[in-house]
Structure 1
């Protein structure tokens, strides 16, 4: 991930408040029929896209589904889950296909009057080579060979250098945005359930999903219903996942 210097101060939130918000979030399986206001949805999406992303290319998109008829069609697509009986579903999509447009957008929407020369050089040059895999991924194959040779002498960024790695690249950043999105709804008092249990083939028939977009999850959103949380929280001991070096 490339970064550029800035004098902008870093804001600090209360650790206690953040912990309370994170601990209050659970995957809810039953919702009431109360609709989620459009203003709340927009606010939460604005917080979602504040998530960091690789080279700030923001490889994500969201489809907000509120139409009752469309929600009914998506219920069997989500394998009949109780969580899919909800007033709002959001299809969270990773976009490995939007990197070129994103490079142009960064230069177009740069928040200062002048784009710094290093920024312009990176997004008009380096990034264009870094993320371009070429027709059928052939440029990626060349770059993998190039990396093996150049990497013998110095450390360098070795991925993404294939179409498959571009998919992983986009999903990683999109997952960060999805985490923001769930916590944002939680802060407004709305519960969520991230669903990976869905039929992607049927999902693409119901929704207008770009061919190269990757459905990362379908997020159910609404007010928590009775018996909405099925089980007590279970997390493995921290020592199973953490090494102190």
Structure 2
């Protein structure tokens, strides 16, 4: 699928068919996810894919009963590692081996900086991992749609309940849930006219966020309102 078509045609899918997702297709999706950018290339993400009905049912309970968690072929728990240094040593060794760093001293300095991030307040490290991991979740949805697999990002869930369902160790932040599956035939999510989007003129500001530059009146805002998960 061409990039423009991929971006413009992706929708958040809530109604799924009974068709399972082949393991080869899932593997291809996540092989593409690996190439998501992240701060310092630290790749702080982990993905727990739930396909067994009983596990998706448990996850749906932690997601406040949202039915498409159970109806999708798979539900993915997107986790962010809140330890910035978890993969730092091998990442910076790779940089050094491939000539991205001029010396071991620079490599050691970078490693020290990242290890020092671990001393930040928990809230800051949660924000740090959420930023990069959210990029990976978006890659996941585009990669899936390129292979004909629909998806829906979800932020409505009990974090502790989700961590319990997937038995995640300490130090991981549940950033998002993403359902995956083939859209049901005739689903409104795909067939209906796309929900409105705010215009470029409204969302883009140049140099400063100035009144009258890239802003719209109340009527424009009301007309451009959309659901957060679409």
Please confirm whether the aligned pair reaches a TM-score higher than 0.5, indicating the same fold.
yes
Distance in 2 between residues matched to 1:48 and 1:218, nearest whole Å: 15
Q: In structure 1, which of residues 100, 113, 132 is the aligned counterpart of residue 85 of structure 2?
A: 100
Q: Does 1:227 align with 2:187?
A: yes
SS in structure 1 at match of 2:189: coil
1:218 aligned residue: 177
Summarize the Cα distance change of 1:71–1:21 in structure 2 as closer, same or farther, 3 Å threshold: same
Q: In structure 1, which of residues 156, 176, 184 is the aligned counterpart of residue 135 of structure 2?
A: 176
Q: How is 1:129-144 mapped onto 2 (pairs within 5 angstroms)? A: 129-133=113-117, 137=119, 140=120
Shift of 1:94: 1.2
Query: Looking at both structures, which has the greater relative contact order when contacts are Cα pairs under 8 Å and sequence separation is at least 6?
Result: 1
Shift of 1:130: 4.0
Summarize deviations over 1:185-221 as a string: whole Å, max 9, x none.
0000010000111122221221111222111111100
Shift of 1:43: 1.1
Shift of 1:125: 2.2
2:166 aligned residue: 207
Distance in 2 between residues matched to 1:69 and 1:19, nearest whole Å: 38
Summarize the Cα distance change of 1:47–1:235 in structure 2 as closer, same or farther, 3 Å threshold: same
Indicate the RMSD between aligned Cα atoms, in angstroms: 2.4
Summarize deviations over 1:15-69 as a string: whole Å, max 9, x none.
x921101111100111112111111111111111201110111111111111222
TM-score normalised over the length of structure 1: 0.74
